[in-house]
Every structure is written in structure tokens, then in C-alpha cells.
Chain A
Amino acid sequence: MAEAPRMPDECGVPEMDAYLHPVMKKNYGAWSWHDRPRPGVLHHVAKSGDEIWTVRAGTQRQMDVYTIRKLMDIADEFAEGFVRFTIRSNIEYMVSTEAQVNPLIEKLNAEGFPVGGTGNSVSMISHTQGWLHCDIPGTDASGAVKALMDELIDEYTKEEMPNRVRLTTSCCQINCGGQGDIAINIQHVKPPKIDHDQVANVCERPTVVARCPVAAIRPAMVNGKASLEVDEKKCICCGACFPPCPPMQINDPEHSNFAIWVGGKNSNARSKPTFHKLVASGVPNNPPRWPEVSAVVKQILGAYKEDAKDWERIGEWAERIGWPRFFEKTGLPFTKYHIDNWRGGRANLNASTHIRF
């Protein structure tokens, strides 16, 4: 008889204690205050008087084992053997004396890891998988992010923005990359092309019908075979039908392009959390460097940096000066597509005579 297979140890989320820097473990829940001695460095002081310095560095998120081992060598030699990662894939090293900070920064810089991403900086871009691993990507994510961070690295290593700037990139409008002060998302703009010979073989048709957000998909017989059809007037080209039904090809190299959205904010600080809004579209999908995307992002960042008040996030700035002025200051064109025409979108129209001349 064959040996019984190993069954998983359903251990769930591990305890964090074993992975915590000793100073953090000792002062868990008992911190007093913090400041930022320089960009990329946080300094926390515990009620016990203990101190810890955190050095934050940018990574490429998709890391090879050699890069991770290099980062671990740095942690062992300069940072007491512990690290953590942020939600934006920055690596953080914690050290218990101020004297360890500069040698650590020098080593990280020498190895090609920029130090920054704290405070009023443009931090690393949270992003999706793109051509490397996603099944409905209109573009690459890691590549577009690398190209953009090359352009924005000075804003990563400095803290010169009015408030923090958080960017996201998504390889379709399903937007797994998340809300951002600036969200850079590719948009499929054509309905899926259906290979009717394949649908009956590989797709569970009710599942595909249920998946469509606008009920544009319905069962149909095509050339005597069970298949699906799409009401192209209703289709909003999201691509959600592709994963359960690969014969519904959504990738369109010719027509897909980037839309840029601004004003997303997750914090409750000052104003309530907000979603990002459309400001630009039709931006070409131009690998490997996507220069047109960088140009629009830099245009928005430049206007924000020049005009916003201290502590205003991009969306708060636009709300204060008014969206007409946002388009004026950024030089971006305003079109009929900026006007929300979904039935709940009336809340976004101006029911007042509040106008700035």
C-alpha cells in the first residue's frame, strides 16, 4: 500500500513574537512618541525610555532569492537580524542605537537600495502582477512601476511634497492595486472577442453570466454550438468574464490605454476616506518605459507640489481649489467622460452656484 500523504498543519497566521526585533517585543504597546530625523528614517521612543530607529528602503517587490539574501546579509551585519515589510513593499530595518543608522544607510545606498518613502514623500507604488502573472492584464505592472520609480526617485528620497503621496498601479480597471492619491490603471476599451468553438468545452456558462457586472452576457447558440454572446452596447470591458472563460479574450494590444485617477485617500485624517477620480485617459501603453504615463504623473505632482498647502493630500487640494481649477493648474483636458453618468453619479454634479472666476 502507498504511504499516506502528508496532511497540512492548518496552523493559520503565525504568532509574530519570534519575528519581532527585541526592542519592539519588549516595548509592545508601550510607545510614547516618534519623529523623523531625516527622510527614510523613523525614530520611536518608548515609555520605558528605549529607542528604536527604523531605516526604510525601496525594493522591487518581485525579488529574486539573491536580492533577498543580500538584504538579509545587510540585516545581519548592520541591523541586528530583523526586518519588516510595509504595505507598499518597502523593507524596514530596525536598529537600537542612533550610531547604527548612517552605516546602514550607506550600505543600502551602496547596494542600490534607495532610502526614503517616509513622511511627505512619494513612496513605493503598490501594484498588481501585470504580464508577469495576471490572467487579464492590459499591461505590465512591475515594469511600469520600475520605470516610474526611476523618474520619481528624488521624490522618494526627499520629503518635499505638501503631504504624503501614495501611488498605485493596476493592470486593469478592476483595480487590485488599490486606491491612490494617483492611481495609474490601464483600461480595456473593447468587448471580449469570443472563440465560439471553445466556450462549450471550457466555460461553465452560468458562472460567466453571473460574473458580468452589467448583465451584458447571455447564453446563445452559435453555429449550432452552445456559447455565450455579449451585448456590446452594455459591455464596460472590465474583463471579469475572462478568468472563468478564457475563450472570451479581453486583451487588446491595439486599443487598451491608461487612465489616471487622483484623490484617493485611505486615512481618516482631516477629511473622511475618499475614492480616486478620473482625470486623464487615452495615455498610451508604451513599454518598456511608458514615458507618456510618467509625463502625466509628473504634471499632476508638479502642480500639487507648487499649489497645495501643508498637510493637504492631492484630493483635499483639488476639493479646496475646485476641480475646474485642478484641470487648469495641471493642464489636463476636461471631457464629457469626466462627468459621472452612472445613476448614482448625480451626487457628483454641482447643484449650486459655487463657481470660481
Chain B
Amino acid sequence: MGRRTVSVAAAATMVLGLAACGGDDGTPTLTWYINPDDGGQAELARRCTEAADGAYRIETSLLPREASAQREQLARRLAANDSSIDIISLDPPFIPEFAEAGFLAQIPDDIADAVTENVVQGAIDGATWRDEIVAVPFWANTQLLWYRRSVAEAAGLDPENEPVTWQQLIEAAQSQDKYLGVQGIRAEALTVWINALVTSAGGEILENPEAPADEVQLGLESEAGAAAAQVIEEIARNGLGGPGLGNQDENGAMLQFQGDRGSFMVNWPFVWAATLAGVEGGNLDQALVDDIGWALYPAVAEGEESRPPYGGINLGIGAFSAHTDLALEAAQCIVTPENQAYYMVTNGNPASNTEAYDDPEVRESFPMADLIRESLEAAAPRPQTPYYNEVSSGLQSTWHPPSSVTPDSSPEEATTLITEVLKGERLL
């Protein structure tokens, strides 16, 4: 072997060696930007990597905890055409903005049909923008009414069998001298609450969400808007939300509900898994779990439909990804009913695919599985507009603190502010 051959061979070995360090055997690596959870998405990434049998490998990259912070990071990266973003765990309200900006790769019709089969309507709506499926529904969240059976009984309510209204809850909590669990913090949680109240009263926050920024019409200055404001006003004025109402988030509401003065609470199903974990860890009593009941989200007026909040996560495919085909394939693997059932059982986040609700483990871990499914079908999404962030922040700044909300002025203030902000005439 000549000297030259040796050096070529050595160079070749080095190149191969480096390739092995960088990407194993040249398998394309897909990066999945995930929101924080209990490790479920990382496990799904592992499972789908295994199932791909060498076609691709999925790696996860963690986004911040707050939904708004997730949006900020993703928007900045995508605006810079970041090609490392292959799959994105996206909060549904931000999907129109991302789709409109061209941040999401198109989803071919056949795949769109496949990933929406047996999926609850709320999740399909959340993944749709301008009549096209732009994201793959993954898990779908909805809020339920959680209550302490003992308190409800003492107050003469039976939420399990008879739908309840906010007014009934207010009176019940008041008569029993207990706190009502709601989210009054100046954050996305407040918008979720306002939206549920307005839609349940038969209104809409935005009447034409698909309109351009300067033509968007708000529907808050209506009976529905006033009814929503009245519920918030009454809870805040009577101190029913507790002393920390103005900065109470979902977790704060849960802790309050688990305490001595807990009565009723609207919250996502994660509270069930968290309460069970609290009992297991010895922080909470089993008696508490036995006392907890669940029912459909309260309605604003008697006889009217309840419109529970809708949330969850859909999977977007990065428009600048070098492997959009593989990313689509991987997303389909991630959202199979089996994987959704696994995710629901281990991480407490409800599936968007109705088949997952037949899984025996899901039924065992979630005695309220059918109710969650029913609630998902009735759920109302938050306004779907590319300007969602402005609408939500505008609501938060005019309807916070809850003690400042009144039916006379709050809907008008929010309408003026949001309209002017969308026209670019005001700061937010």
C-alpha cells in the first residue's frame, strides 16, 4: 500500500468516523419542538423513531412553559426560516397566525383526511384555517366543572345529573362560605374563561375572525358580553375567587380547590391526575378524591348551551424543514389512537381521536372519559384569527383585575382598545 493510499484511507476513515458522531448512519433527524409535559412526547418520539425502522429519527426540543412564550420563540425562529424546525407542538389559537405567515408546510389532502378521521370536531376546527387542514390534531383539551360532592349536596345542587349555571355556582359557594375556582390571572387563562362565558351566553368575541386587521368586528358590546362581564364581576365583588383571584392560574385554582374552602372549580382534566398523584405522594387525603365530582362546564343562563373551553396541541410541520415528507409521516405516527391513549394515560392530556377513549387503560385512569369526550364535542374554540395575540392581550389588559370588570364599561373598553390596536393606532 502506497503512502498516498494510506492517507486517503485514513481520511476516509475520519470522514466516516465524523459522520457516525454527527448523525449515526446518515438517518435524517427530525426535530420536534415540544411544550413541557411529563415526558410523554419524548417517549412518543422514541416509539416513532423505533417504528420508522431507520427511515428517520425524532429528537425533541423543549419550548417554554407559557403558551405565549412558546409562540414568541417559534415565531422568531420561523421568521428567520429556521430549517431545524420539523414538527411543532402548537397551541390551536396561534395556528391561523402561523399559517397566514407561511410558517406551516401544506398538508396533502389524503393525509389531512387520514389524520381527521374519528377526531372530535373541536380539534378539527382548531387545525383548520381558511377551510384547509393546516396542522395535524394531536391532543384536545377541554375544561370541566369539578366540584366537591359534599359542598354541592349541602347547597342543594346535583351537577352530575342537572346542568348548572354560573349563577347557581355563585349562590352555592356563597351560601357555603367557600371559594369558587376560576382563573383570574392576567394571562391566556383569563381569555379562555372570558371566551367560554361569552360563547356560552350565545355571543362571539370576534364576529368576523378571518377579516383583515382593520376590518375585524368585535361582538363584546352585546348582551352576551355584558352577561360574561356580570359573572366575573359578581365572583370578584363577593370575594368568591379568593384573595389571590387577580393572579390565580390553573394550578393556583387547583390548590385552592383541594384546600378547606374548595367547592366548585372550572379547570382542565390535568387536575385529576395531579390530585391522584398528591394522594399517592401523601400530600392529600383519599377522602378528598372520594369527594370530587365532575360535570359539564357551567352555562351562563339556564336552558342555554354550555360552551366549554377548548385547548390542546396540534402538530404543525415547519415550512422550512428539509424533510417535510418525513415530518408528515412522523406526525401521523405520533397521533395514532394508541399513542394518544398512551399519552392520555401517562400525561393526563385528553386524546383528540375518539377511538382512544375506548382504550381500557384510558377508561380506568379517567372515570370521566365519556364526559371529556362529550365536552370536547360541545367546546368552543377561541377566536381564530392571525391577530389572536392582540385580541387576547387586549382582553387581558381591559378585563384585569377581575374586580375592575363591570357589564357597563368592560365590553366597551375592550372593543375600543382592540379595534384601535388592530388598526395600528394604539399601543397594547
A and B part of one assembly = no
Residues of A within 8 A of B (CB): none
